[in-house]
Chains A and B, each alone.
Chain A
């Protein structure tokens, strides 16, 4: 009984730790009640549309947002610290847990960074396999984004359509490596698993089936008047702001900056493939939606080319059983579905990284939230959070 009471009291703001009103500079704090026009709304960490445990404190004038403050860290697991206490191979599965809807991309970035440190390059077949799986993963990540984003804006149905089609991708992952979500698909130096029998057919079948499904999503949303009204002109980021804020990925491209690490600094075998980088014009939520939809189409294109040109040969380079990179440090980044995912690894020559820094795209992109929502309405805040496509596992690490 008494335990319960003490627990309960802790939940109240202001008792211990900062409460809501401790954030944001509230000028109205001392004014009389009737003169106060600002409302401080605590959104999250338990909220249906903050995509996890994001806590946003909104300062409102009626429904208009005057300012926001993000409070993050509820999912902080100390991934970077763990990285310093695990060997290079042991840390590999941990990165899957950061951006858990795009775990393959995380693994790719990590493996490549360590390979760079080791001066090893994955054999061509492994590179192609990696590209196929990463692009599948990009599609699945964008599907999760589309479903939840539409749900935030009030369209219930696309969520289920997206998850239905995402299932096909997860099935391919499961057949390939036995896991659906936290795949741990790649190893340092290449891939551990050879493509299973029928992998190519599965991928092609998925690609053929997926494009009509994509049209189906578009049918539900692209020309839907309410959808267009809710997204056009909402959360505009111009290119200068994007660059100053370090925003990357589809958000940057929707603002008109044609920059994709797959083209700018091609890693793996991306230089072998023919694909376009979709860009937007206005940098609003609608453009970001269109850019991501088009990115899915381009991913399908890449997958088809990669499956057709899948070379034969070994799938893993010769790497020592105990990975001891030379003393040195590298920063390597890839184009994850959410933006630039970088790994900064400092090696002291031992079996464990001396410093394992992850540059998470979601974390940096989330910083743009304040700029994007100022002056908009509460309903737009959820739309903007959705369009930033953040995954709190990656924000908090």
Chain B
């Protein structure tokens, strides 16, 4: 299995509009383990420092059919995110901010569910993250807090992108962000549709891509790819499912 990943380090043109392309040294990685990642750290606008090579992920690559890893591995060591924003958030919320990191040059925060709404509101109002790019979720069935809610935010003034994540248990509800960004309406409906996560105070929480009355939440890991709501098909299409 010739697994060799070599290449220039990720020049990350994505982050920080006015930042010059940081001269990050190429980091060759020769093993089957995931390649080291040099993540430049743009403190708010400028000055990227080269990152040290990350150590390989603790989990060896598993074959495709194997069960998914139970704990959420955070990749080959994301770097702590040092910036005024992160620092002020940390000082304000303390342990509420579980993580503030960058990975391949992309910043993300992992926050406690209880302060999620507050953080989102603050991000929009005080930090200028006026554009909610995406809301989605990831399912980790073996974890206690089964779901990662992911909010991808973008700031037009800063030309900066940040992801805000929170971990919730199955059955937990999340306060809707549709009061903060209107676009969250459909995005949250899709999350509800695909993962079964309910949103408190959502104006119109119902399935969006799947038909009303469908059973099951397809993007959960315990929903096999071939599964179908046989009953729904029988009733609504009047045919036996072809499976």
Judge A-B direct contact (beta carbons within 8 Å). Answer: yes
A interface with B by C-beta (< 8 Å) = 3, 6-7, 10, 16-18, 72-73, 76, 78, 80-82, 84-85, 87, 116-121, 241, 243-247, 257, 259, 264-267, 271, 317-322, 324-333, 340, 342, 344, 346-352, 354-355, 357, 359, 363-364, 366-367, 396-397
In the bound complex, do residue B152 and residue A342 qualify as a contact, i.e. CB atoms below 8 Å apart? yes
Q: A267-B13, A324-B34, A349-B57 are in contact. Are A318 and B133 (CB under 8 A)?
A: no
Chain B residues whose C-beta falls within 8 Å of the C-beta of A325 in the assembled complex: 34
Interface of B, secondary structure class, is loop
In the bound complex, do residue A364 and residue B186 qualify as a contact, i.e. CB atoms below 8 Å apart? yes
In the bound complex, do residue B64 and residue A351 qualify as a contact, i.e. CB atoms below 8 Å apart? yes
Q: B212's contact among A17, A78, A322, A330, by CB below 8 Å, is which?
A: A17
In the bound complex, do residue A328 and residue B8 qualify as a contact, i.e. CB atoms below 8 Å apart? no
17 contacts between A and B (CB under 8 A): A7-B238, A78-B218, A118-B5, A245-B181, A265-B159, A271-B13, A318-B5, A324-B34, A326-B34, A326-B75, A331-B152, A332-B14, A333-B133, A344-B134, A348-B73, A349-B62, A363-B186
Chain B residues whose C-beta falls within 8 Å of the C-beta of A333 in the assembled complex: 133
In the bound complex, do residue B5 and residue A244 qualify as a contact, i.e. CB atoms below 8 Å apart? no
B195-211 with Cβ < 8 A to chain A: 207-211
Chain A residues whose C-beta falls within 8 Å of the C-beta of B207 in the assembled complex: 73
| Most chain B CB inside 10 Å of its own CB: which residue of A119, A266, A357 | A119
CB distance from A236 to the nearest CB of B (A): 16
In the bound complex, do residue A340 and residue B133 qualify as a contact, i.e. CB atoms below 8 Å apart? yes
| B171 within 8 Å of A (CB atoms) | no
Bound Cα distance from A265 to B19, whole angstroms: 11
B158-193 vs A, Cβ < 8 Å mask (1 yes, 0 no): 010101000000000000000001110111001000
In the bound complex, do residue A329 and residue B152 qualify as a contact, i.e. CB atoms below 8 Å apart? no
B interface with A by C-beta (< 8 Å) = 1-11, 13-15, 17, 32-38, 56-57, 59-64, 66, 68-69, 73-76, 78, 103-104, 106, 130-134, 136, 138-139, 150, 152, 156, 159, 161, 163, 181-183, 185-187, 190, 194, 207-213, 218-219, 223, 225, 235-238
CB distance from A278 to the nearest CB of B (A): 18
Bound Cα distance from A123 to B163, whole angstroms: 29
CB distance from B66 to the nearest CB of A (A): 7
In the bound complex, do residue A397 and residue B209 qualify as a contact, i.e. CB atoms below 8 Å apart? yes
Bound Cα distance from A85 to B1, whole angstroms: 21
Bound Cα distance from A388 to B139, whole angstroms: 32
Q: A118-B5, A350-B63, A367-B185 are in contact. Are A327 and B75 (CB under 8 A)?
A: yes
Q: Which residue of A lies closest to B226 (CB)?
A: A85
Chain B residues whose C-beta falls within 8 Å of the C-beta of A349 in the assembled complex: 34, 57, 59-62, 69, 73
Chain B residues whose C-beta falls within 8 Å of the C-beta of A350 in the assembled complex: 61-64, 66
Chain A residues whose C-beta falls within 8 Å of the C-beta of B183 in the assembled complex: 244-247, 364, 367
In the bound complex, do residue A17 and residue B138 qualify as a contact, i.e. CB atoms below 8 Å apart? no
Q: A10's contact among B62, B132, B209, B238, by CB below 8 Å, is which?
A: B238
Bound Cα distance from A87 to B65, whole angstroms: 11
Bound Cα distance from A2 to B207, whole angstroms: 32
CB distance from B183 to the nearest CB of A (A): 3
